[in-house]
Amino acid sequence: MEIFIVSVFVLGYLAITLEHQLKVDKLIPALIMMALAWAGIAFGLDNFTNWFDSHHATLVDGFKDLPMHGHESEGHAVLGKSEWLESTLLHHFGKTAEILFFLVGAMTIVEIIDHFNGFQTIKRIVKTNSKATLLWIVAVLGFVLSAIIDNLTATIVLITILRKLIKDNELRMWYAGLIIIAANAGGAWSPIGDVTTTMLWMGKKVSAAALIKHLLIPSLICMIVPIAIASVLPVFKGNFEPMDNEERVSKNGTTMLLLGLGMIIFVPVFKTITHLPPYVGMMLSLGIVSLVAEFISHREFSLTAIEDHGHAHGPTFRALSKIEMPSILFFLGILMTVAALESLGMIFNFGNSVVDSGLNIDIFVSLLGVGSAVIDNVPLVAASMGMFQYGMDDHIWHFIAYAAGTGGSMLIIGSAAGVVAMGMEKISFFWYLKKISWLALLGYLAGIGIILVFR
């Protein structure tokens, strides 16, 4: 049955990788392989020799000899295999749900800001027609915004702004490619900047303060090196002709932008004060932002537009209807499939074999980052969390956060930011490989150098 489960994962992941060729949304194979993997575990439960106790990060002794159902022995409850399955499945689903609800809250806040056209505030600060200057502006904005609203959303926001500034499609593709590098670098040092750093933070592998302390400078170097090289390339010489756009300006846009970003930044503070899981703080932030949004909307109420101000048309309802539910379901499928492999002890045993083989752990993590350009970084990080049993804020976790977060920039399909840019600007795989990948590689290696030197 182990062979069946591994085959399901390999085939499912192949279908995810070939999403554009197969013309099947990646969430579909993700959900199917999740269900089949756990079904395989349920059917083969009586024959497994290993079982990984996720609560204590150890293998269960003598799992093969345990009865199917638990019983009392000398006044103590002995868990059977079915109880282990139920407990483990509930544990992983709970941990996955924490991550997903956290992401739903963050996405909804961003959509509420966009409802009030708050991101127009960012566009208004761009006062240049120099190509090189604009490159540095959008790169810095991408680096900062991605640390706050995640790299995927930051990429969408900045490409949307570029569409209102630059008419030349080829030039805009160059900007979009470098925004991917900046956004992924910015997301790597923030606990809320990338799904993988959020996973490590919520999995108690890293703390927010230590992650920022150890990765801020390497991530900054990872962004600066490729942007500095690109800024002297011929494509960024001279000036561009700004487009003349008339945009709806909301008088509350700046207020909602500052409030939304401030409440997202508040989440790590809330966790530090209360020691509650981060999704609790995110729900509090979403509640406050929604309350202010509804109050503003009702204050703007008028009798001539009464049909447009019902509850179903409020900013919160609209924001919830626009969040990326396919991405949420994709993460559910991926994380729960990796959890199935972890439950059978496969990932734990693989991690031990890597350690026992004598392979330098820094080389392994560096290769993991390169692998994240081909394979989605979410399952790679999920797998690494099951492989290694290092303590909280061990340097390996910070290195993994950096490698998985920034390594995906080397291919356009290697990160969520890249995939969304690919769709928005119709960037081809091979155009990105030829024009941008080498810049991303130089930035990635420069950041690794800084990490190793600082250590």
| 279-293 residue pLDDT tens | 899 899 999 999 998
Confidence of residue 455 (pLDDT cuts 50, 70, 90): confident
| Chain segment 143-152, per-residue pLDDT in tens | 998 888 778 7
Q: What are the Cα distances from residue 450, in Å, to 23, 81, 142, 184, 221?
A: 41, 47, 21, 17, 8
pLDDT reported for residue 74: 61
Q: What are the Cα distances from residue 37, in Å, to 199, 320, 339, 400?
A: 21, 31, 10, 26
- Are the CB atoms for 150 and 194 separated by under 8 Å? yes
Q: What are the Cα distances from residue 225, in Å, to 218, 259, 449?
A: 11, 32, 12
> Identity (one letter) of the amino acid at 399?
F
- Give CA–CA dist 383/352, Å, rounded: 13
- Give CA–CA dist 445/413, Å, rounded: 19
Confidence of residue 408 (pLDDT cuts 50, 70, 90): confident
- pLDDT for residue 261 is more than 80: yes
- pLDDT for residue 340 is more than 80: yes
pLDDT reported for residue 303: 39
What percentage of residues in the chain have a pLDDT greater than 70?
90
Q: What mean pLDDT value characterizes the chain?
A: 83
| Chain segment 188-201, per-residue pLDDT in tens | 998 888 878 888 88
Angle subtended at Cα 237 by Cα 232 and Cα 239, rounded to the nearest 5 degrees: 145
- Are the CB atoms for 330 and 30 separated by under 8 Å? yes
Indicate the range of 7-11, 13-17, 110-114 predicted with least confidence: 13-17
What percentage of residues in the chain have a pLDDT greater than 90?
24
Indicate the range of 45-49, 104-108, 118-122, 134-138 predicted with least confidence: 118-122
- Are the CB atoms for 315 and 294 separated by under 8 Å? yes
Indicate the range of 56-65, 250-259, 441-450 predicted with least confidence: 56-65
- Are the CB atoms for 154 and 186 separated by under 8 Å? yes
308 class by beta-carbon count within 10 Å (0-12 exposed, 13-18 middle, 19+ buried): exposed
Q: Write out 128-156 in H/E/C secondary structure.
A: CCEHHHHHHHHHHHHHHHHHHHCHHHHHH
pLDDT reported for residue 32: 94
- pLDDT for residue 245 is more than 80: no
pLDDT reported for residue 302: 42
- Are the CB atoms for 199 and 381 separated by under 8 Å? yes
The token pair at 278 is: 């981060």
Q: What are the Cα distances from residue 253, in Å, to 121, 204, 250, 260, 368?
A: 7, 36, 5, 10, 41
For residue 105, give the nearest of 28, 202, 185, 27 by alpha carbon.
202
* Axis crossing angle, helix 395-407 with helix 195-202, rounded to the nearest 10: 160
Confidence of residue 22 (pLDDT cuts 50, 70, 90): confident
Coarse DSSP helix, strand, coil percentages of the chain, rounded to the nearest 5 percent: 75, 5, 25
- Give CA–CA dist 158/175, Å, rounded: 10
Confidence of residue 436 (pLDDT cuts 50, 70, 90): very high
Helix, strand, or coil here: 355? helix
The token pair at 391 is: 């303590």
- Are the CB atoms for 288 and 263 separated by under 8 Å? yes
Question: What count of other Cβ atoms lies within 10 Å of the Cβ of residue 240?
Answer: 18
- Are the CB atoms for 174 and 131 separated by under 8 Å? no
- Give CA–CA dist 414/398, Å, rounded: 20
Confidence of residue 231 (pLDDT cuts 50, 70, 90): very high
pLDDT reported for residue 305: 44
Domain boundaries, the chain: 96-454
Full DSSP string of 276-295: --HHHHHHHHHHHHHHHHHH
- Are the CB atoms for 429 and 196 separated by under 8 Å? no
- Are the CB atoms for 386 and 348 separated by under 8 Å? yes
pTM listed for this prediction: 0.73
Which has the higher per-residue pLDDT, 160 or 141? 141
- Give CA–CA dist 172/135, Å, rounded: 10
The H or E element containing residue 78 is strand 76-78
- pLDDT for residue 132 is more than 60: yes
What is the arithmetic mean of pLDDT over 105-134? 82
What is the arithmetic mean of pLDDT over 436-446? 94
The token pair at 290 is: 């929604």
What is the arithmetic mean of pLDDT over 301-322? 58
What is the arithmetic mean of pLDDT over 194-216? 88
pLDDT reported for residue 249: 63
Helical residues (DSSP H) of 44-130, grouped into ranges:
81-115, 120-124
What is the arithmetic mean of pLDDT over 443-453? 94
pLDDT reported for residue 244: 62
